[in-house]
Every structure is written in C-alpha cells, then in structure tokens.
Structure 1
Amino acid sequence: MQVPSSTVAGGGPSGKDIAGHEFLAFTLGSEEYGIDILKVQEIRGYEAVTRIANAPEFIKGVINLRGIIIPVVDMRIKFNLGTPVYDQFTVVIILNISGRVMGMVVDSVSDVTTLTPEQVKPAPEMGTAFGSDYLIGLGTIDERMLILVDIDKLMSSSDMGLIESLAS
C-alpha cells in the first residue's frame, strides 16, 4: 500500500492521508511515539550489538539478522532523552525503509493502533526531540497522545546517512 503524496505545511502526509493507517506505538523516556506499521519488519528483544569504531554514539553498532548485517540506532541517545537503560522491556524494532533494513532501539512497544482522520492533529511548531521535519502529527486516542514520526524521513536524513556506510 502506497501512502498518498499530498502533504501539509510541515512536509509530511496530511492527517486525512494517514488516517486509517496502523501505527506501532513505542516509548522513549516518558513520551509515546507512533510509526507506520508497514515500515516494521519485526520486533526483537534487545541483544548485545557489535560496536563499530569511530561511529557516532547514537549508532549502537550492528547485529547479524539471519545473515544480514543490520545497523542499530539507539533513539534515546540520538535525541538526548536521558541515559538509556537496557532492561527486559527494551526492544529493537527492525525497519525496512526504502529497501534498507535497520534497527531502532526503543524503551518498549505497547500496541498497534488504527487512527481515524479526527484522531490526527497537526504537530505544533515547538521544540520536540524529533525535529518538526520528522513529525507527521499527533494521534489522540482517548487520554493518550502518540507523537507520529515520519520514520522514512528520519532514517534517511543526512545525519543518519552514516548508517548507509556502516551497513555496506
């Protein structure tokens, strides 16, 4: 399924374009985020990674996933959200972004949620860990709020370009 290309001022898909899409909810610190479930290949428990010399701190290293070497990014380190704690809830979300497979370490995952157009609000222009360029909007479910992240844009941004060279 292809996401329509119309966008809002922030550059991401508009609320009506993403409505009805399913989002995987995950936490980083005290905030809850959501990414398009279609980008998720699998979810794995956190395991030790092989560090790469001279890689930025947010790139934890690489793992071998069934014969494929996958770079792993720790999102808490990437967005300065405090010292990461690796416990039984820590997971690696394996993503498939434009044919590239990569891992994203998050504190925990909770569920998959389908959002209607009324539940998706534009992201306010303010300082969040994820720059507004990477935000689709805010998904509201009762008293819960998901910060919806454009994971394609985030993982293909220039500072993440290093991942490409590590995985090659």
Structure 2
Amino acid sequence: MSEVSKFIIFQLNHERFAINIQQVRSIEKMPELTTMPQMPQAMKGIFELRGAITPVIDLKEKLEMGQAEYSEETRTLILTIDGNQLGVIVDKATEVVNISDDVIEPPPEMVAGVEREYITGVANQDGQLIVLLDLDRVLNFAEFNVS
C-alpha cells in the first residue's frame, strides 16, 4: 500500500516545485522587508509575523535560478526549519495536492538547474513533472539566523 502525502505546489521560473505541507505554516503576500547589514546574498530582509522576527530568503537565488521578480502573484511561504520560522519567496503558490509515493521517482543528477542533493524526488502528476524539494537541505537556518 503506497503512502500519500500533501504537498504545496509553487512555481519558480515556470517550473513546478513542491514541498511537504507539514513544513509550511502559512502562505503570505510579499511583506515589506527590513534589510540588515551584511545579510547573506539570498536573504532579502526580515519582517515581524505573529510576534516572531522572520528572515526571508529568495528561493530562486538560493537555488541559483536567478532572482525573484515581484508581482501580484509573488508569495512568501512561511516555513519551520529546525524549529525556527523562515520565509521563502516564490513566484506563485498554486495548490495543495496529494502525491502518492508510488508516482515519485528518484531525482536525476540535476532538474530545472537544481542540484540533486536538494531534491527528494520527481513526481509525475497528470502528465506534469513536479520537483520535490528538501528544504531542510536547501535552507540551513544557521546561515540566516538573525537573532
């Protein structure tokens, strides 16, 4: 019997990516960010959300896929990584889907310009490929810790 998990689908450069919904606390419109001196390059700033100072990362830049271009559809996924709150900027958050582990293939060496170590697999859903990201590997919280 195959396991089914819920994933949030989002886009970066028109490519479809997904992360397990258990890592996502909320999806927010692009907040107004406060920049800080000597921030890591992919970090775009911080903002306060529900009493917590939240660093925000440009996921495209972190994955070396260019830089986010902000639009009405730009969203910030609020995540919990290593018990800490962190935001990542995505082009668009599209839907929540159930993905059965029997449609997940192991990752090839590189998908959509993203290195294999960041990918847990590739799902084929309704003829469309969805790259499943391992955000614990992509986002090392210590690198962006602002407290």
| TM-score (norm: length of structure 2) | 0.91
CA distance in 2, matches of 1:80, 1:55: 17
1:83-133 residue CA offsets vs partner (Å, 9 max, x unmatched): 421111000000012211100000001111111132111111136543211
Structure 2 residue ranges without an equivalent (≥5): none
1:42-99 residue CA offsets vs partner (Å, 9 max, x unmatched): 0000022101111122100101012210100001222232342111100000001221
Q: Which amino acid aligns with 2:26?
A: E
CA RMSD, aligned part only?
Answer: 1.6
Q: Which amino acid aligns with 2:73?
A: F
Q: Secondary structure at the match of 2:60?
A: helix
Identity of aligned residues (%): 29
Quick check: 2:68–2:89 contact (8 Å CA) kept in 1? Answer: no
In structure 1, what is the equivalent of residue 120 of structure 2?
Answer: 136
In structure 2, what is the equivalent of residue 3 of structure 1?
Answer: none
Q: Which amino acid aligns with 1:27?
A: Q
Write 1 or 2 for the structure with the bigger share of helix.
Answer: 1
Structure 1 residue ranges without an equivalent (≥5): 1-15
Alignment of 1:4-153 (within 5 A): 19-126=3-110, 128-153=112-137
How many matched pairs?
A: 146
1:10-42 residue CA offsets vs partner (Å, 9 max, x unmatched): xxxxxx6xx411110000112110001000000
Residues 1:162 and 2:118 aligned together: no
